[in-house]
Amino acid sequence: MSAPSWFADLVFPGSFLLTVGLIAVLRPPARALGWVDHPSTRKHHLHPVPLVGGVAMCVAFCVGILLLPDKPHDWRVLLICTVMLTLLGLYDDLRSSRASTRFLFQAAAVLLMALGSDVVLGNLGDLFGLGQFSLGDWAVLFTLFAVVGVINAFNMIDGLDGLAGGSGLIAGGWLLVLCLSTHARHPGDIGALLVLAMVIVGFLAFNLRHPWRARAGIFMGDAGSTMLGFVLSWFLIHLSQGEQAVMTPITAVWILALPLLDTLTVMVRRLRSGSNPFVADRQHLHHLLLGRGLTDGQVTGVLLALTFLTGGLGVLADRLDLPCCLGFYAFVGLFLLYYRITTTMLPPPNSPVIGQDRRRSLRPSDTDKKWHRSLLRLPWTYGSRQESE
């Protein structure tokens, strides 16, 4: 027996209220138990901040999906993998696990997704203008690489109040636009994306700065950034593959253009400088804009506007049915431009803008001398710990 329509309508506001309620309940014991993010030279907050946002988001998202009358495709695998990765992020928030441990658990969850469902990145579209680029037997491996990359990209941009959550909300919003603008019916996917949006809004009510809140009251932590990156990866792949596709694969790249560009640029820059690519520094775009004198709120606003713009360009190109190769070559050009601009924004090595952590990372160390060993062990992981608040 199907659920009445009024019950389905309550799932979405209920997801928001459940997120808010869980955060309100978890905050006091989190402070007492030490489940907080402590200030450091790379971070902007001056007092310990509870890391309860990610767990609250995961619970509310899973409950919302379970209550939907029309569930998304392979929803059981989606929820199992989401919980697995959130628990991994939670452990990392509490105990700071090694990069190899994080990668292995991330890889296990993504492999479960790829082997336990048909959410696999098997076709990249007409990227080069020479016909469809099918991955064939390499599809699972490429899916592993792509999803772990997106997960760690969200981990890396989670450096300012509201930035990761706002970016996820915008990406999910563009996916909703694509689902609603196609003739094919996707009630389960639309419902799940609406639940995700309500969950993020509930989190942002405590995390985003506004006239009534001078600074974030909670952070999502690695639990939240990992969960958010995975769920978005799931729908970006699912909605760009097969008969149910509502967009081309290159459109999915444009929807997450800014997090991907920032991650790729930072990793390339670290490799070229001979630094360990897995050691956090202050070379992300939000750090560079802060170094130019912008406030936290201004930087967040600028980056969210850019995220909205790049995603909108990708969606517009998709709706106009422009060639996939045009979108791919445009993205490559945008990456080169982004790399050039952000490189010119880098302050001198002794500048106080960089901070003690980066000055230390620029000096050769045992870790830097052995970074290639980490590459061999972790060939597909982009990052590590949350790259700073």
Q: Where is the binding site for Mg(2+), in residues?
A: 155, 222
- Measured distance CA(188)–CA(234) in Å, rounded: 13
- For residue 132, give the amino acid letter: Q
Taking residue 377's Cβ as centre, other Cβ atoms within 10 Å add up to 11
- Do 44 and 72 form a contact (C-beta atoms < 8 A)? no
- Do 308 and 172 form a contact (C-beta atoms < 8 A)? no
User: Quick one: which H or E segment has residue 185?
Assistant: none
Residues annotated as binding site?
A: 155, 222
- Measured distance CA(275)–CA(226) in Å, rounded: 25
Question: Environment class of residue 70 by beta-carbon count within 10 Å: exposed (0-12), middle (13-18) or buried (19+)?
Answer: middle
Of 306, 303, 336, 330, the closest CA to residue 318 belongs to 330
DSSP state of 46: S
- For residue 265, give the amino acid letter: T
- Measured distance CA(330)–CA(129) in Å, rounded: 13
